[in-house]
Amino acid sequence: MRERVIMHIDMNAFYASVAQHLDPRLRGRAVAVAGDPERRNGIILAKSREAKACGVKTAEAIWQARQKCPGLVVVPPDYAAYKRYSRLARMIYYEYTDLVEPFGLDESWIDLTGSLQLFGGDAMLVANEISGRVKDELGLTVSVGVSWNKVFAKLGSDTDPGDGIVSITRENYRDVAWPMAASEMIYVGPATARKLRAAGYETIGDLAHAGDYFLGRRFGKIGFMLRDFANGIDGSPVRQMDPAKADVDYVVKGIGNGLTAPRDLVCESDVKALVWLLSESVSQRMRESRLRCRTVSVGVRRAGDLSGYSRQTTLRIPTCLTSDVAKLAMGLIEANQPLDEEHAIRAIHVRATNLSSMDDPLQCDIFGDAEEALRAERLDLAIDELRSRFGNRCVHRAVELTDEVMGGLDIKRDNTVHPIGFLR
Amino acid sequence: MKGADGWRKRYVSVTARMDEDGRVRPLSIQWYDGKTYAIDDVRSVRRSSSRKVGGDGICYTIRIGERITQLYYEDPRWFVEEIVPDELVS
């Protein structure tokens, strides 16, 4: 069988690079893309190479970043531009193969196994060409990893933070990949890396030689998968997506929305307003996809120490009603903490999982009122219809009117889905 | 919008012809002072980004009289890289 040729293309410091590309005065300066401090989302979302050199880190507060890097230029995010450049870059990849699998906005795997011969047969030359074209046509730099599997291809592109090209082959992977820290590999997050380190496994090479007993006991079957990855054993295909809607062609496993409130939530009506707003968006999106959920979960971040927790509950009968989701979410929060100033809440997340199609038959509850449930569903669908015609804010819940700032939010419209997930 | 030193992104009005196969050929540029410059020749058409003023789009390398310059179609607007005289660079 022919050896696969897979590339992982990663657009460097994507958000910050787009900002620098659109405004040349920002080039060569320390730039950070950050949320709005007024709405308390003021954390660093991305930073340019220059800012990174000063030690600015993703997800820290703007004031922390400014301390490290006094000349830091902070710009607001521009998702429309990111989506545009993400799509334009994929359009370039599609000229080389039809197998392009996006991984978030700034990364893609492409499989050139079948088409490489059309472009001369040398993977490094093609990688060079793609990198050059993205630079010329879009003004952005990419790093490319070339390998025979997706895991090492990604490892290769992560190795070089500049616009380099790294090839990991069957001949050199022991020299290139194995000396790297295990945490560099996909699916080795902080927790896994900590467990590995505790047992003396520091590098990918160590992981590649880990024993069955340790892996099985410590990680279960994921452990064996990680060892396979470290040995370059990964047969997962580059999925073919529809180029017209490459971003959305994923199987939906859950629908969720979360928000850091503009101010701390200190009483029941505050919490209720946000929970209903979030539940409304979640349920509306669920109904749009013609889905019902059986599990509702909430995540809460406390204002005091920024610690958080999440809780979930499972229903017997699936639902897509806003009121069901909101009441369950509210119930989960109330059961876990008192709602007062002492236990102020900073952010809430509502998520619906365990999804099933709305077209699946429902098992009715012998003591429930099935007709009433259907009526409620029709009411929600009617409201959805109104909103699709006149905007999300044409029909309000009374609970949302208790707070002016919060009532002005349109969570559904501002929602952007970032698909991330390697195992499916 | 000001670009890198000495350059500025200048959006311009363009008269263009759209051929039956969908190809677009710019014919003339109206400068902000009212002058109209006829485009004598389109040398090349390609996707490109502008390093000087930022942004990207379809880049037409055009000839106006004896000068060769670039005209960008940044869907849905056209721009050129304007030279800013030294005394105006702050």
ipTM: 0.79
Question: What band does A37 get if pLDDT is binned at 50, 70 and 90?
Answer: confident
Query: Which residues of chain A does CATH 3.40.1170.60 include?
Result: 14-79
Residue A185 per-residue DSSP state: S
The verdict on A21 touching B (C-beta cutoff 8 Å) is yes
* Cα A48 to chain centroid, rounded: 20
The answer to whether A8 touches A104, Cβ cutoff 8 Å, is no
* CATH number for domain A254-407, candidates 3.90.230.10, 3.40.50.300, 3.30.930.10, 3.30.1490.100: 3.30.1490.100
Q: In terms of Cα–Cα distance, which of A137, A113, A138, A107 is closest to A126?
A: A113
Residue-level length of chain A:
424
Catalytic positions of A, please?
Answer: 107
Residue A247 scores a pLDDT above 80: no
User: CATH 3.30.70.270 spans which residues of chain A?
Assistant: 6-11+81-117+142-230
How many other C-beta atoms are found inside a 10 Å radius of the C-beta of residue A72?
A: 22
Contact A24 B56 (CB under 8 A): no
Cα(A339)–Cα(A312) distance, integer angstroms: 18
| A10 appears as a binding residue in the annotation | yes
pLDDT in tens, B31-73: 989 999 999 999 999 999 998 898 889 999 999 999 999 999 9
Terminal-to-terminal C-alpha distance of chain B: 14
Residue A419 has pLDDT above 60, yes or no: no
Residue A256 pLDDT > 50: yes
Cα dist from A346 to A58, A77, A317, whole Å: 20, 22, 31
What are the C-alpha distances in Å from A286 to residues A132, A357, A370? Answer: 42, 10, 20
A414 pLDDT band, cuts 50/70/90, is low
pLDDT band per the 50, 70, 90 thresholds, residue A393 = confident
Residue A233, pLDDT above cutoff 70: yes
B23 or A367: which carries more pLDDT confidence? B23
Q: Between helices A79-93 and A123-133, what is the axis angle to 10°? A: 150
Angle at A13 (CA atoms; ends A10, A14), nearest 5 degrees: 70
pLDDT at A160: 73
B70-to-A344, B29, B32, B67 alpha-carbon distances in Å? 58, 12, 17, 10
Scored b (16 or more CB within 10 A) or e, B64-90 reads eeeeeebbbbeeeebbbbbeeeeeeee
Task: Give the confidence band of A372 by pLDDT, cuts at 50, 70, 90.
Answer: confident
Contact B56 A139 (CB under 8 A): yes
Mean of pLDDT values over A376-383: 91
If you average pLDDT over residues A391-400, what whole number do you get?
A: 82
Instruction: Please give the mean pLDDT across all residues of chain A.
Output: 87
Q: For position B1, what pLDDT does the model report?
A: 56
Report residue A421's pLDDT band, with 50, 70 and 90 as the boundaries: low
A299 pLDDT above the threshold of 60:
yes
- Rounded to whole angstroms, the Cα distance separating A187 from A209 reads 17
Q: Are A347 and A301 in contact (CB under 8 A)?
A: yes
- pLDDT value of position A360: 80
Q: What is the pLDDT of residue B51?
A: 86
The total of other beta-carbon atoms located within 10 Å of residue A349's CB is 19
Measured CA distances, B20 to A243, B17, B25, B58 (Å): 26, 10, 11, 19
Q: What angle do CA A65, A67, A71 make, to 5 degrees?
A: 80
- pLDDT of A105 > 70? The answer is yes
- In this complex, the residue of B51, B52, B54 whose CB is nearest that of residue A23 is B54
Over residues A143-157, the mean pLDDT reads 94
Contact assignment for B56 to A23 by CB distance below 8 Å: no
From the candidates A17, A20, A21, which should be mutated to test the interface with B, based on the most B CB atoms within 10 A?
A: A21
Question: Which residues does B contribute to its contact with A (CB < 8 Å)?
Answer: 1-4, 7, 46-56
Q: Which of the residues A11, A22, A92, A140 would you substitute to probe the B interface, choosing the one with the greatest number of B C-beta atoms within 10 Å?
A: A22
List CB contacts (< 8 A) between B54 and chain A.
21-24, 139
Q: What is the mean pLDDT of residues A344-350?
A: 92
CATH number for the segment(s) A6-11+81-117+142-230: 3.30.70.270
DSSP alpha helix (H) spans, A99-200: 123-133, 150-159, 173-176, 190-198
- The CATH T-level fold of domain A14-79 is MutS, DNA mismatch repair protein, domain I (3.40.1170)
Asked if B54 and A137 come within 8 Å (Cβ–Cβ), the reply is: no
pLDDT level of residue A149 (50, 70, 90 thresholds): very high
Calculate mean pLDDT across residues B7-26: 92
- Alpha-carbon Rg for chain A in angstroms: 24
Q: Is residue B45 a contact partner of residue B16, using CB atoms and an 8 Å limit?
A: no
Residue A189 — very low, low, confident or very high, per pLDDT cuts 50/70/90? confident
For B54, name the nearest residue in chain A, comparing CA atoms only: A22
Tell me the shortest Cα–Cα distance from A21 to chain B, in angstroms: 5
Per the annotation, does A106 bind a ligand? yes
Tokens of A258: 């979360």
A139:B52 CB<8 A: no
Q: What is the pLDDT of residue A420?
A: 47
Contact (CB<8Å) A24/B4: yes
Residues in chain A within 8 Å Cβ distance of B7: 24
Has residue A38 got a pLDDT over 80?
no
> Which residue intervals of chain A bear CATH 3.30.1490.100?
254-407
CA quadruple A260, A261, A263, A266: dihedral sign: negative
What is the pLDDT confidence band of residue A400, given thresholds at 50, 70 and 90?
confident
Find the residue in B nearest to A85 (Cα): B56
Residue B8 in this model has a pLDDT that exceeds 80:
yes
